[in-house]
Amino acid sequence: MAADEPADEAESGRSARTGALWADVRIDPIEIALPGAVGYTLRAYRPSGEIAKPDADRNSVADLDDFDAAAAAVARRRRASDEDEISDEEEVEAAFEPDQTDDEVEGDEDLADDQVLEDHEEDEEEEDVEEEVPVFLGRNNRLYLFHSPEKLVEFVRSGAEHDLSQLDTWAPLVKRVGSDDIVPLDDDSYELDLVVENLRGGPDAWEPRLILKAGELARDLGYALRMEPVLVALATGSPLDDLDEALRAAEAGGVGSFFAKRRLRKIPAQQSSLAWRTLIGKISAIADWRD
């Protein structure tokens, strides 16, 4: 195991001590590139019952707590496209299936009933599991950003109140963290400043990882900071969510990627770039540069 550590460190850019620190406190440093500036901040995921809800008087959005956490891409999990919607490849397969006999149809109906029962039982089990939700370094629906790791650590040690100070692992982090520990992993680095220009280039130029990561961060921020316009713009079935799903399917390969690439060519680049420019503007507006 020890022989693998140097390779792991080289890949992540972190020392073993730094990796252990973030694993212990279950908080991560993240890097966000916005138009005009790059900032560092912190993010954690916790069960929703452990996180205090923002002051409702400061929210311009009513009843946002009713938003499903999974729809906000909480805990970086995304559900597959709606199970009730038949995929393109399934439609093709159905077109070539021979007509079924009455006995076969009856058998399929029995299987469908069994599946409905199983799905219902699974849904009940999922309801018993508390979803993890994102919480960021910030306060009053503002995201605290810092131009350098040193300034971020200086703030962490300042004793100032913020949304992360409620976490049970915050005090150990304050004692242990140093500026050399602010090393975001690649998955926690977001280049929002490149998204609009990339989308303008059209489907052949689109970089799935760039756009999908931007969507993950935007959903997290939208949920944690109660940004209703962001959640609505990225909600299931929205044009930007359709773009995400097509990009994800195209990257997955296989038969589905053929249909996904065809879907991508039908998505207007201009509309997508304008929508993302609006979202990035809203994210920039809630950024509070503390240094």
Tokens read off for 136: 């960021």
For the chain, how many structural domains are there in total? 2
pLDDT band at 4 (very low <50, low <70, confident <90, very high): low
pLDDT of residue 132: 92
Residue 147 CA to residue 37 CA, distance in Å, equals 8
State mean pLDDT over 69-86. Answer: 41
What is the number of other CB atoms lying within 10 angstroms of the CB of residue 3?
6
109 inside domain: yes
pLDDT of residue 260: 74
Of the given ranges (136-145, 243-252, 270-279), which has the lowest mean pLDDT?
243-252
- Are 152 and 121 in a shared domain? no
Q: Give the end of a domain, one of 96, 129, 162.
A: 129
**184, 29 in Cβ contact below 8 A?**
yes
- Are 202 and 269 in a shared domain? yes
pLDDT band at 55 (very low <50, low <70, confident <90, very high): low
Residues of the chain above pLDDT 70, percent: 68
Q: Give the end of a domain, one of 95, 129, 163.
A: 129
Confidence check: pLDDT of 42 > 60: yes
Confidence check: pLDDT of 129 > 70: no
Q: Give the end of a domain, one of 89, 104, 129.
A: 129
Q: What angle do CA 26, 56, 136 make, to 5 degrees?
A: 20
- Are 202 and 235 in a shared domain? yes
- Are 154 and 120 in a shared domain? no
21 inside domain: no
pLDDT band at 261 (very low <50, low <70, confident <90, very high): confident
Domain span including residue 174:
27-49+132-291
State mean pLDDT over 52-62. Answer: 51
- Are 161 and 286 in a shared domain? yes
- Are 176 and 289 in a shared domain? yes
- Are 139 and 224 in a shared domain? yes
226-231: Cβ within 8 A, 24+ apart: 226/54, 226/59, 226/61, 226/64, 226/141, 227/61, 227/141, 227/282, 227/283, 227/286, 228/60, 228/61, 228/64, 229/278, 229/279, 229/282, 230/279, 230/282, 230/283, 231/64, 231/67, 231/71, 231/72
- Are 215 and 185 in a shared domain? yes
pLDDT of residue 94: 40
Q: Express each pLDDT in 147-200 by its tens digit.
A: 999 999 999 999 999 999 999 999 999 999 999 999 999 999 999 999 999 999
- Are 222 and 259 in a shared domain? yes
Q: What is the DSSP string of 150-171?
A: HHHHHHHTTT---GGGGSTTHH
What secondary structure letter does DSSP report for 27? E
State mean pLDDT over 68-90. Answer: 41
- Are 101 and 162 in a shared domain? no
Tokens read off for 135: 């919480």
- Are 179 and 194 in a shared domain? yes
Residues 6+ apart with CB under 8 A from 257: 249, 250, 251
**Pairwise pLDDT comparison (193 vs 3), residue with the higher score:** 193
Instruction: Name the phi and psi angles at 198, rounded to 5.
Output: -65, -45
Confidence check: pLDDT of 254 > 90: no
State mean pLDDT over 57-72. Answer: 43
Confidence check: pLDDT of 143 > 90: yes
Confidence check: pLDDT of 51 > 70: yes
Indicate the pTM of the whole model: 0.74
- Are 141 and 45 in a shared domain? yes
pLDDT of residue 115: 58
Average pLDDT for the chain = 80
